[in-house]
Amino acid sequence: MNLSRRELDNTVVNIELTLASIIQGVALYFLTENARTALSLNNWPALLYMSAGLCVIFIFWSRSIIHTLTLIKCPLEFGHNFFYIACALGEAILFTRLERPLAWFRLSTAYAAFVWLLFVYDVRLIRARLREAANEAERSLYQRTMEDQSLNIRVLVPLLFFFNLGCALAINHWPDFFIDRAGNVWLIAAQLLSFLIYLFYVIRFYNRLAPFILRSHEATRQS
């Protein structure tokens, strides 16, 4: 590979990694500030909302790192990064609703919808990488990335979207149970569990993908 192109690719990767870390750091700040206020009121269910928010950060950051290590090259993809910034804004707003269950699940639904769009948008980037693949190692990496992308678009993110939508509708329809009698605790516990399961899936996906990333980078250095 041309040395100047490799340097440009490394520069773009560094930009992506820096952006992903900074915007999730900003989201963490909003979560920390609102959690401190909520927990100071001895509102223990807020601990579940705080934990769910922390999982949101873990998931978004880990997925963005995997995306960067597998797909990001020169030129810089502005649309993709704009989606990242918008998602961070959504997280920050979401984290201001730790003590408002209905608002939390409404915003969670909107956030899931936006993440769904991000997955759909990034399909074009994966297809571009498949067309550009110069060796079998790269093709194998991008094919597995596309399989994961399709699974998220068709199954995982829609499940998250409809789960949050159902929770919002349930709270809105039966506020006496879910608000007055704290029934929302069961909903946030279920959401937290779903986030933990998905986070475990992301970690396992990366562990399976890591050897393909290594082989792809070795093949690129040799070309």
| pLDDT tens digits along 40-86 | 767 778 899 999 999 999 999 999 999 999 988 877 889 889 999 99
Of 129, 6, 118, residue with least CA distance to 64: 118
pLDDT in tens, 153-184: 999 999 999 999 999 999 999 999 999 888 99
Average of per-residue pLDDT values in the chain: 91
Q: What is the DSSP string of 143-160?
A: HHHHHHHHHIIIIIHHHH
Q: What is the pTM of this model?
A: 0.92
pLDDT in tens, 105-133: 999 999 999 999 999 999 999 999 999 88
Domain ranges of the chain: 3-222
For the chain, what is the radius of gyration of the CA atoms? 19
CA distances from 141 to 2, 36, 103, 137 (A): 21, 42, 39, 6
Say what the pLDDT of residue 192 is: 97
Of 66, 67, 48, 58, residue with least CA distance to 27: 58
Q: Reply yes or no on whether the pLDDT at 222 is more than 80.
A: no
Asked if 62 and 203 touch (Cβ cutoff 8 Å), the reply is yes
Asked if 62 and 199 touch (Cβ cutoff 8 Å), the reply is yes
Q: CA 103 to CA 88: how far, in whole Å?
A: 17
Say what the pLDDT of residue 218 is: 81
Residues 6+ apart with CB under 8 A from 49: 38, 98, 99, 104, 188
